Structure 1
């Protein structure tokens, strides 16, 4: 019986890891949303194919929000619906940002797609004329050419001749093409020159990071085993029942929240879950809350939090003082401002661990060396260290977690960090 359970657990682990690597499975629910970006993008491209028209659109959102995954899902579905009616040309701003090289890459891919001989010595003007001719021929053959420009904002550097050539070629009545720009910069359209912007359709699809609730629904969808999973009769029930208890546990919600706070992208969640599944105990055959906790700690290193845990009590006081100054919207402050806040705290709470100015200055310098704080200016001379404005390099969440994990952190620091004011 134990061997059967271990075998079933191994099969479950394989199934779950396969799901985590399958973007079609991850984003499949988007197909059923009529108002989602999947439906909007598919309608736009389908309209170009069926109505023989030209379109352009920008797909914008932070890295890891699913932009490329949804685009690939749409293209895969369209290839099944419109066989031999679409041709996809892919460029990446990191590789093809140069106008001449980008146009040469377009010509190379079009030649490869249509079985033509590509000339490596063709000039940029030759490749531009070839592009116009190919768009005309594809249009007459009722074939849509889809240009996918990843890292779109990098194509806006320089003279933007590639973008202008693409969008200008689309002005022809016989051409039939779609230009899709993918970028993590939300202002990517504002980077276009006037002549390029005038030929762009100004359509934008915005991808936003999912909420914690959305992430939990995705976790449940990925990890729950299907009812028809081939295993001992009670394994699926036991596996899913244990997961159900974990998902309603407040500690699990805290773990998921901490993962989301560090990086709320879907790609980060998938990395997190892959570590969870990889640590599945084959002997018990079940996932536990410890699997999620361990994966949360291992997926991200926290060098700043480690530096906070290695700091002295005095250095912690200075960090909290800086945080309080920022909460009070005192955007510009220096060592002297921090010292005033530090002394005011000790005067208010009558604490016995108040240190002198020289000790505080050494602690201040240690924080600069550990890169927990930095100067806001770039000058290396001029003002002395006490007068140069500084800023925190740790977020409130990182500071809170660092204090929480500090072995002997004074209780007063936690209270001060929670914005409890002194009189």
Structure 2
């Protein structure tokens, strides 16, 4: 079964048969949200997708009996591992006797002795060989070379998956050199796939390692606005060809499509994406949304999405904001305005100039003396809503040291909205 045909509905068990359609729908959608294969299958169809490119790289290595290497780069939560798992799942079905997968993680196996020992362990386990825990680095290195040769002669490709690849690139990189050098043999058939959130991971490689590493890179990015909309429909809309009552499916989907078209919903998605636009963050948001679904009506509502947004946002900062004084809110708004203007020097003096600018523009009644503002500024430092840019300048007065804001624009905006007597502010 290809990734594009991942089942959209679970098997109907006896327990589910006793549940209401709303409860069954909730279970179905939650199972989708927790299934990366289902979520990322939507990105497997386009020929220019990372799924198609990666599958071509690995499958060509299999069919042409050659060695290859590729890096999967991008921020955490963008689907690098999920797409790779989809590709490997499909290839294992197409070539069941031609692939052996070895998985390492830089957090656990960055030491060259540990990495080679883990490779030996996994190879022994897959080929039903006796593994020796007492084997030395040279013994394990020789065993890996021998297995590469034997698998190559048997027309079997070993795929090495190195997660947290940048951690393998630390130190003398002896493991990477040993692995890539062993692949230079004419008889070996292997593919090395490095996964890293560092976009410069290939630049960390030593010259001798880089010369043996092909410079193929696939860049993974957070989904665009259009991709997010496709994901929402893909995950939340109920299948029409299912055991659900037709009337219920129609009502559920029509209500959802109306919500998707509502500008208030688009604002919720924008707020969500502003803080974190990765698929992982979207999954947490949708799981919370479905958990808030009213099982009596059996339908999702805009209020469910609003409740989910407030649940996953960082609440501690919002709680601190509620206890801020009017003056402290002004200072935070001034700092955000200075950030928007891309002003490099953001210290207490610059904040005071911006504070005066707001006062002169809006003719506010809330204007405080400089010494009062300085105490409020120091209070914000104590509450860790702002902090100094660095630890230098301890001898300087606090009003001259550059500071940075520790809350995001959506958090500040939500804090201002929830304030009962919020002053006028524009940022």
Determine if contact 1:59/1:180 at 8 Å carries over to the other structure: yes
Note closer, same or farther for the CA distance 1:342–1:18 as it changes in structure 2 (3 Å cut).
closer
In the other structure, the counterpart of 2:277 is 264
In the other structure, the counterpart of 1:75 is 88
In the other structure, the counterpart of 2:79 is 66
CA distance in 2, matches of 1:271, 1:339: 40
CA distance in 2, matches of 1:233, 1:200: 55
Note closer, same or farther for the CA distance 1:342–1:234 as it changes in structure 2 (3 Å cut).
closer
346-355 or 215-224: which moved more?
Answer: 346-355
CA distance in 2, matches of 1:294, 1:47: 48
Structure 1 residue 247 and structure 2 residue 260: aligned? yes
Determine if contact 2:240/2:246 at 8 Å carries over to the other structure: no
The alpha carbon displacement at 1:380 in A equals: 6.8
CA distance in 2, matches of 1:262, 1:300: 9
Alpha-carbon RMSD: 1.8
The alpha carbon displacement at 1:24 in A equals: 2.1
The alpha carbon displacement at 1:399 in A equals: 2.7
CA distance in 2, matches of 1:16, 1:350: 52
Structure 1 residue 216 and structure 2 residue 229: aligned? yes
The alpha carbon displacement at 1:337 in A equals: 2.8
Note closer, same or farther for the CA distance 1:380–1:11 as it changes in structure 2 (3 Å cut).
same
CA distance in 2, matches of 1:103, 1:145: 14
Structure 1 residue 369 and structure 2 residue 372: aligned? no
Determine if contact 1:5/1:283 at 8 Å carries over to the other structure: no
Determine if contact 2:387/2:403 at 8 Å carries over to the other structure: yes
In the other structure, the counterpart of 1:91 is 104
CA distance in 2, matches of 1:257, 1:222: 18
Structure 1 residue 111 and structure 2 residue 124: aligned? yes
1:355-379: CA deviation from partner (whole Å, max 9, x where unpaired): 1122111101111012121112313
The alpha carbon displacement at 1:347 in A equals: 4.3
Note closer, same or farther for the CA distance 1:356–1:5 as it changes in structure 2 (3 Å cut).
farther
The TM-score, its normalising length taken from structure 2, stands at 0.92
Note closer, same or farther for the CA distance 1:388–1:104 as it changes in structure 2 (3 Å cut).
same
1:11-55: CA deviation from partner (whole Å, max 9, x where unpaired): 212221222222222122223211110011011111111101000
CA distance in 2, matches of 1:29, 1:396: 32
3-state DSSP class of the match of 1:56? Answer: strand
In the other structure, the counterpart of 1:15 is 28
CA distance in 2, matches of 1:67, 1:125: 33
3-state DSSP class of the match of 2:307? Answer: helix
Determine if contact 2:275/2:408 at 8 Å carries over to the other structure: no
Structure 1 residue 235 and structure 2 residue 248: aligned? yes
CA distance in 1, matches of 2:149, 2:351: 68
234-243 or 106-115: which moved more?
Answer: 234-243
Structure 1 residue 317 and structure 2 residue 330: aligned? yes
In the other structure, the counterpart of 2:356 is 343
1:389-412: CA deviation from partner (whole Å, max 9, x where unpaired): 22222333433333233221112x
| 1:274 pairs with one of 254, 275, 287 | 287
Determine if contact 2:166/2:198 at 8 Å carries over to the other structure: yes
The alpha carbon displacement at 1:381 in A equals: 3.1
Note closer, same or farther for the CA distance 1:272–1:340 as it changes in structure 2 (3 Å cut).
closer
Determine if contact 1:103/1:127 at 8 Å carries over to the other structure: yes
Structure 1 residue 39 and structure 2 residue 16: aligned? no
CA distance in 2, matches of 1:329, 1:221: 39
Question: 5+ unaligned residues in a row in structure 2: which ranges?
Answer: 1-16
| 1:168 pairs with one of 177, 181, 192 | 181
1:202-242: CA deviation from partner (whole Å, max 9, x where unpaired): 10000010022211211111111111222334211111121
CA distance in 2, matches of 1:225, 1:369: 50
Determine if contact 1:88/1:146 at 8 Å carries over to the other structure: yes
285-294 or 379-388: which moved more?
Answer: 379-388
Structure 1 residue 402 and structure 2 residue 406: aligned? no
CA distance in 1, matches of 2:240, 2:337: 53
1:247-288: CA deviation from partner (whole Å, max 9, x where unpaired): 111111111222222211111111211122222222111111
3-state DSSP class of the match of 1:234? Answer: helix
The alpha carbon displacement at 1:326 in A equals: 3.2
1:177-207: CA deviation from partner (whole Å, max 9, x where unpaired): 0000001111111111111111110100000
CA distance in 1, matches of 2:34, 2:342: 45
Determine if contact 2:116/2:175 at 8 Å carries over to the other structure: yes
3-state DSSP class of the match of 1:168? Answer: helix
